[in-house]
Amino acid sequence: MLPVLLALLVVAPPPDTSWPHQDLRERMVQQQIAARGLTDPAVRGALRSVPRHRFVPEVSPELAYADRPLPIGHDQTISQPYIVARMTALVRPDSADRILEVGTGSGYQAAVLASIVDSVYTIEIIPDLAASATERLRRLGYHNVVVRNGNGFDGWPARAPFDAIVVTAAPDAIPPPLLDQLAEGGRMVVPVGPAGGPQDLTLVTNDDGKLTRRTLAPVRFVPFLRPEP
């Protein structure tokens, strides 16, 4: 059985206003987010406040805020800022929401979500990444995030249902347990497709118990990992 790592919580920390990081984030939001038509003020505010450079400390701050994904070890990546912002906006986060994230990685997407919503439950299958994300989020003050090392295919039944689900790795097909854990009125955003093959960013909504899927754009994500037999 995989170990469980928890970080217990309350509210998002104040934004990092140190120079030059604040300027780098503002430039990132203006050039990569706003320029591409993403207008949600809460999402823009979250991208302005979360210190992305702290989630990829092995690269320079300029590269941390660049318009590109970056490696975080274990053949995993942190998505480019625009993809993080778009996926966040697609689930229409609200201050009262409880959100499930599958694929914690470095913890950056969880921190962005946590800056907007009530609570984030995030699952990471790679123990080292789960441990480092737990410590990083704790150190940065994201006390409304709970990190678990486990199998994201099964979701988190004990905390379900979720107002939104964000999946940051690409399964061949959407795991049925995640569909079951989406609350009435809930939204899920997930890249779907084979590793190295065509993948589609997909939005799932639950309206009156009816699940509707909409394909939005071609994307390229790391594959959705499952435990070895």
Question: Is the per-residue pLDDT at 11 higher than 60?
Answer: no
12: its two tokens:
């998002």
Can you give the residue range of the structural domain that contains 38?
21-219
Question: Is the per-residue pLDDT at 1 higher than 80?
Answer: no
- What integer pLDDT is reported at residue 226 of this predicted model? 87
- What integer pLDDT is reported at residue 16 of this predicted model? 61
Report the distance separating Cα 80 and Cα 101, nearest Å. Answer: 17
Question: Is the per-residue pLDDT at 10 higher than 60?
Answer: no
Question: Is the per-residue pLDDT at 107 higher than 80?
Answer: yes
8 burial class (0-12, 13-18, 19+ CB within 10 angstroms)?
Answer: exposed
Q: Which residues are catalytic?
A: 79
On whether residue 98 sits in a domain, the answer given is: yes
On whether residue 3 sits in a domain, the answer given is: no
On whether residue 229 sits in a domain, the answer given is: no
For residue 32, give the 3-state DSSP assignment. Answer: helix
On whether residue 7 sits in a domain, the answer given is: no
Q: Assign residue 26 the CATH number of its domain.
A: 3.40.50.150
- Dihedral pair phi/psi, residue 77, rounded to 5°: -135, 160
- What integer pLDDT is reported at residue 128 of this predicted model? 97
Question: Hey, CA dihedral for 174, 142, 98, 7, is it positive or negative?
Answer: positive
pLDDT in tens, 32-54: 999 999 999 999 999 999 999 99
Res. 195 pLDDT band, cuts 50 70 90: confident
On whether residue 179 sits in a domain, the answer given is: yes
Average model confidence (pLDDT) for the chain?
92
Q: At what angle do helices 41-49 and 81-90 cross, to 10 degrees?
A: 140
Report the distance separating Cα 59 and Cα 226, nearest Å. Answer: 29
Question: Is the per-residue pLDDT at 134 higher than 50?
Answer: yes
Res. 3 pLDDT band, cuts 50 70 90: very low
On whether residue 13 sits in a domain, the answer given is: no
On whether residue 225 sits in a domain, the answer given is: no
Res. 70 pLDDT band, cuts 50 70 90: very high
Per the structure, the count of domains in the chain is 1
